[in-house]
Structure 1
Amino acid sequence: MNWLSRLNPANHLFGRIFLWFWITLILVVTVTAFATREIARNQEGSLSELNESQEHWLEENQRLLARLPALLEQSRDLAAALDRLSKRNRQLIVLVRQRDNALISPVPARELGDSKAFARASASDEAVMLHIRHFEFIGPINKITYNGDTYSLFLGRMARPNPLREFREQYPLALLTLALILSAVPCFLLARSLVKPLTALGRHARQMGAGNLQSKDLHTALRGDEIGQLAREFNQMATHLEDMLERQKRMLSDISHELRSPLTRMQVAVALAENEFGEDHPLCKRISKEAGQLDTMLGQLLALARLESQQSQRYSHFQTSDILSQIVQDAEFEASAVNKHLISEFGDSAPLYGDAQLIASALENILRNGIKYAKQSIAVHANLPDDQSWQLVIEDDGPGVAEEHLTKLFTPFYRTSEARDRDSGGVGLGLAIAARAIHANGGNISAMRSTEYGGLRIEVTLPLHPVS
């Protein structure tokens, strides 16, 4: 049902705008069509005064009109006489019997419609123009008496052709369908002009949310309407965020550098105190431990600052076996020192391209994190998920991380449990540095719960780069 929901136009802004305008146009077109049709019906048999062209037509037929009463009064069959005279003179000659408004015409009565129009015209004191469907008549011209009945004489002809009217009468649904299809085009363009810049803004917002603060919608910002104003404010916000983050990075780097000097002096003072009071003195041990943690944190801050600014990266081709062997040896030694077991499986070596030292440091950092929180076992294994990437998976049987914290593990200074990390000496920088190092080399890192060991599972994926 999800795909049906995605196809539903009402679930999208573009679909709602398009349907709103299109349905409105459909209603307008439909009402207009029916109103026009009703007006046309009401106007059938409409009477009007003679214009100059019609008066000229009447003058041209004066000789015929002068002879018609005598010719018709002498005929035995009135209808046959009308048909014969109409064909001979190429005119439509119609009689209206005054006592019952009956029509006598050379054309079928159904083509002339309702006889009431002729009755209204017959009641006129002077000749008028009568429009009926495809015909136009002038009358009453003369009065004719035949077999005791009085008739009003009308002279008619085919009206000038009107292709649109004929097409509408013959194919009413086709004309309505064509109007609806044509109305969909401007509705589509209008909806697209409103939704397209919003879609572009959404795309840039997603890019900015992914960390690309240089993503700005310059094209939409050129518009002069409210959407253009929104794009300009969005670009201004992105610029402010970029400047603020840059200042924060610079401040973090500067503070780390500035703290190096007093830290060095503190370590010298600790060494002098240990010489005087002994290394086992409680205060000396405490100060030495805190100074060591501060030194580690400053080193991590400097490493993070260098990664953020992409400084001092040395790229080269190397094999995964060049870095994994030493990392695993060191990890096995550290794990055995705390009575934990490391399981490793790597398979064939794979070619990579990047900063080998930086990648090795990141993997070692992740592995040490697993050793720190594992209860008994840590597993690390490598594989090739496809022909374009290499993947390293590190799992442990520790307490793991709650689902809501998994996406924030790689955020600087983020800690899932402050008490636990404080006891272990962590400040929430290790995994953040590892993630920055992996991303700097074109890779990806993700965290999830380990289904096999029950603890944390971290997957590192790097692109393969065979040496050509």
Structure 2
Amino acid sequence: MRPRSLRLRLTLVVTLAVGLALTVASFVLVNSMSNTLFGDMADAAARQVDKVADAVEHGQPLPPEDPSAATMIRVEDQDGKLVTSVPQTGAKAAADRPVPAERTRAAGSAGAEPKPPAEDFEIVPARTVTTPQGEVRTIRAISRSGQITQSIDLVVNSLLVAAPVLTIFVGWLTWFAVDRALRPIEAVRRRAEAISHSTLDERLPEQDTGDEVGRLTRTLNRMLDRIASGARRQREFVSDASHELRTPLAAMRAELEVSLAHRDSADWRNVATRLLDDHRRLERLTGDLLTLARLDEAAVSRRAEPVRLDELVAGETSAVRHAEVRASLVPVRVTGVVPELVRLVRNLLDNADKHAAGVVAVSLRVDGGSAVFAVEDDGPGVPPDQRERVFDRFHRVDGSRDRASGGVGLGLALVRRITRSHGGEVTATASPTLGGARFEVRLPLN
């Protein structure tokens, strides 16, 4: 049991709340019971005083004794001596007992609420009247309150025992219930503590309970799936990037070693030209890798602004040098990051230029709430089973792409990543007019 444990805190809070609630409820119950019982006794005594006072005032016989009443009526003269009483017998000792002045109610105070008695007998309402003979009589009620006091004491004693017992029971029940509820969470915690970067394939134990713990476990397992998938992609990316970077470096080193071994006969101008080509390829590869890393970073600051996509596309068509460009553009405005959109358009045009037999078609239109940018060529196209994989990093379609053509398999991966970062999507299909590949990008309009 840890002082900072959730189990202990919940148990203490519930136990204290129940104890406080029972204390307040007990106080209200005893107070209400006392007021009700003593109030009823006072009301009954006041009614009896009124009956006797009316009879004495009009010279009538005193009313008969009420068998259900627990009150005796004293009729006293001006000196406080007993003249008669109702009932005539029974509580005679109480009737003869001197009446303390501080416990006597003032005349005419019938119906006032009495204070709880400290003795078995309580002086309650009194009334002073004048008889037909001119004599002054005080009619006073004395009620037996012992049974009421005993009943209240019994309730108080019962509550003094029941309230602590019930509070302790609720505390134990809360501890047991919270312990049972937290056991699955503790099991999940221990299992999660054992999962590391080398054991990301492990999953947390799921319980088909349908409650919050089960939903939390499923959510955490889905999070682990995403983490494992991201870590796997990261390892693959690092491995592929290392391989791609090693190739031009190895070629450059081999070129230099051969030239140095035959330094007298080496054509150093051609060597420098080839090294420069390898350097450009290496520079482009590292630039693409850096761009992908920035796009994958969710916290990167990206300044989006309104862009005339038709003007941007028209400015990049001049990059197509080995094929005829057929452009069909309409004015379209989107919101995006200009350098990223330039890279998207340039990569698609460069890809089509490398694989086209002689014609590249570029179109830009509006379809509903989207701008549709398409690039088609008359080359060999992309096989149907490769149309999704061409967007993977470092993927090349057999027979249509190789390192000799200058591609490293990052251009289309960048296209998809940029498109999705702008809220759009890119697909690869067959060109219905040219017969080669068709890459279509859909972006939301501004």
TM range (shorter): 0.3 to 0.5
TM-score in terms of structure 2 length? 0.45
The structure with the largest alpha-carbon Rg is 2
Of Structure 1 and Structure 2, the greater helix share is in 1
TM-score in terms of structure 1 length? 0.43
